[in-house]
Amino acid sequence: MAATRSRKSFDEQANEEFWASSSIKKQANLFGDDDALVTAKRTLGGLNSIFDDEEDEDVINFDGTPATPAKPSVGFSMSARYKPPERSTSSNLAGSSSLTTGRSVPGLSSASPSSSLSSGLTHSRSASLTVGSSAGTSGLSIDEMVSQSKPKPKVPSAAELAKKEAEINFLKRSVQSAKRERWALLPVKETVRRMLMGESYNLEMYRSREDKLALLDEAIESCDGNAIIAAVLFLKSTLKSSLFHQELRSRPTAISQYLNYLREAYELEDLIDMLGVLNRGEEAAMLKYKQAISTRRPETKVKNLQQCYRTHFEMNPDLAHDASHVQEQISLLERQMPIDKADALAQQEQKSRIFYDFPRKASLINMSVLTTLYYCCFYHYELAENSLASPQAIKKAYHLTEKEFLWTALRALAKRKLWIALETLFQSKSWFGKVSMKSEVGFEKVVQVLEQCGAPNDILSKYLQLVDDPEKRLALGKKFGCHQVVIDTLVAHKDRQQLQAYGQTLTPHTKEMYYAQDALRHSNVKWKN
């Protein structure tokens, strides 16, 4: 046991000698129990000198002028850069000593130089701002300085005060005049003058029919539209409709102004009624028709057109021609809606091949009759006449001519390249059952449409031979490259020179070249040249 204790004390002594012989300079510890009071005071004095050096920095006011340095006092520091927490150094020293050794350092109290360090490190920002301010604002708080920097209210001049006072007096006189004349019956000229000048006026005092009409006549004489409208609206609100219409009918200027007012205000119902009272039924019917077709929903449009037809077209013999067109439009909408609905569903579900090859680009609703016919010829040409989408049914229902039907069906079938159906379109039977090709639009136009739709050469040649005029047939044949038709036409004209010249333009060793040579060697043709 003794040997162990002696070995332990020897190790502790060696450690102490090692740390005592360290080359690192040992710094003073303020809170060590072994440091004397004199050493602590010397250290604190060095710290104070450091802070004094920092106080030598220049301090300026808010306006840029040099600030007069304030005398250092207890609780304030000249440096505004750092504000340590306010705590007593003596208490820290005492606390540190207590934590380290459990003993207090004798001779240290709150009045010791360590308290000067604490007070020197402590300051407030408001005190620094006060010390650094100029002589004019010295001793003011921040709120007082801000209140002084606010702009002072502008004092109005004598002229402005006089102007305001004149305006106030004018308004007072106007109010007193309005109160005094509120229930006074002024002459109509005075009231109209106030209307023209933009002053206040009251029409309620004109109670008799004569006074109201006199007011309207005076407004008409003034030739001011606003005054006329004000008088007319006053009559409308105070007279019966029959009397109002009767008096207004005898004043064309008032009628014109009132109708323009109703149009601008978009009061269509009153405008239509007024036009009917004035026996302007056609204008009222067109206005009602325009209102009926303004909606986008087809069902609502059909109902509005039916009501418009019954109200304005059906009972008016002067509008019989227009009434038939309205009926056709209603019938067309009622036909288009189920066709469009069924085709949209078929395209969505891909039930028909044609909607896959040629998808619909727009809705059929609200299209014209010829556009509807083209649509039905394109998608439903094979349907029977008892179907809504049948082209023949549309032709019959809307009284289309043969030329209108043929031209529309030609373009639709040519675009779909239905050459067999196209041939049946031009076939006609005579009384004896003979089938012949006939076109109401002329076969030269048929050939042009077929060429635009990309018809093959044999189809073009077939319909080009049906052109009656040989000059047109020859020109179209050369234009579209139908060589056989050109050769046959030249042979029919017995024009050997043109045939030889045309044969030289053909490609050698082709079918057309051999066909031209055979025609030239034909012995039965009597050539003209």
Q: What is the pLDDT along the chain (529 residues), one digit of tens a residue?
A: 444 445 545 556 656 665 555 554 444 444 445 555 555 566 555 555 555 554 445 555 555 565 555 544 444 444 444 444 444 444 443 333 333 333 343 333 343 434 443 444 344 444 444 444 444 555 677 777 777 777 767 788 889 999 999 999 998 888 887 777 666 778 999 999 999 998 888 888 898 999 999 999 999 999 999 999 999 999 999 999 999 999 999 999 999 999 999 999 999 999 999 999 999 999 999 999 999 999 999 999 999 999 999 999 998 899 999 999 999 999 999 999 999 999 999 999 888 889 999 999 999 999 999 999 999 999 999 999 999 999 999 999 999 999 999 999 999 999 999 999 999 999 888 777 788 899 999 999 999 999 999 999 999 999 999 999 999 999 999 999 999 999 999 998 888 999 999 989 999 989 989 999 888 887 688 888 7
Please give the tally of structural domains in the chain.
Answer: 3
Q: Residue 277 has which token pair?
A: 């009272």
Domain assignment of residue 170, yes or no: no
Q: Are 449 and 414 in contact (CB under 8 A)?
A: yes
| Same domain? 140 vs 191 | no
User: Of the candidates 145, 173, 200, which is a domain's last residue?
Assistant: 145
Please indicate, yes or no, whether residues 109 and 227 belong to a single structural domain of this protein. no
Angle at Cα 412 formed by Cα 409 and Cα 414, nearest 5°? 100
Residue 2 lies in a domain: no
Radius of gyration of the chain (CA): 56
Q: Within this chain, do residues 43 and 136 fall inside the same structural domain, yes or no?
A: yes
User: Is residue 5, in this structure, part of any structural domain at all?
Assistant: no
Same domain? For 200 and 109 the reply is no
In a domain? residue 482: no
For tokens 């009434």, the residue is 323
Q: Judge if 332 and 467 occupy the same domain.
A: yes
Q: Output the pLDDT for position 489.
A: 92
Residue 485 contacts residue 462 (beta carbons within 8 Å): no
Q: Which of 258, 279, 300 is the last residue of a domain?
A: 279
The residue among 361, 444, 435 whose CA lies nearest residue 410 is 444
Looking at the domain assignment, is residue 19 inside a domain? Answer: no
User: Is the CB of residue 44 less than 8 Å from the CB of residue 117?
Assistant: yes
Q: For residues 357 and 439, state if they share a domain.
A: yes
Q: Does 138 lie in the same domain as 208?
A: no
**pLDDT of res. 66:** 59
Distances (CA, A) of 235 to 207, 216, 217: 10, 8, 12
Question: Does residue 34 fall inside a structural domain?
Answer: yes
Torsion, Cα 313 319 323 326, to 10 degrees, reads: -90
Q: Are residues 328 and 437 in the same domain?
A: yes
Q: Which stretches within 350-482 are classed as H helix?
A: 353-357, 369-379, 391-397, 402-416, 419-426, 443-452, 457-464, 470-480
Q: Which pTM does this prediction carry?
A: 0.62
The verdict on residue 33 lying in a domain is: yes
228 and 332 inside one domain: no
Residue 31 shares a structural domain with residue 97: yes
Domain of residue 332: give its range.
Answer: 324-472
CB half-sphere exposure, 453, CA atoms < 13 A: 20
Contact present, 228 and 220 (Cβ < 8 Å):
yes
| DSSP at 152 | P
Per-residue confidence (pLDDT) for residue 222, from 0 to 100: 94
As a whole number of angstroms, the distance between CA 310 and CA 328 comes to 14
pLDDT on residue 128: 42
User: Do both 467 and 377 map to the same domain?
Assistant: yes
CB-CB contact of 388 with 338 (8 Å): yes
Q: Are 389 and 376 in contact (CB under 8 A)?
A: yes
Half-sphere exposure of 213 (CA within 13 A, CB side): 13
Same domain, 61 and 122: yes
Sign (positive/negative) of CA torsion 340, 342, 344, 350?
A: negative
Q: Please say which residue of 472, 498, 514 terminates a domain.
A: 472
In a domain, 204, yes or no: yes
Could you please report the per-residue DSSP string of 370-387?
Answer: HHHHHHHHHH-TT--TTS
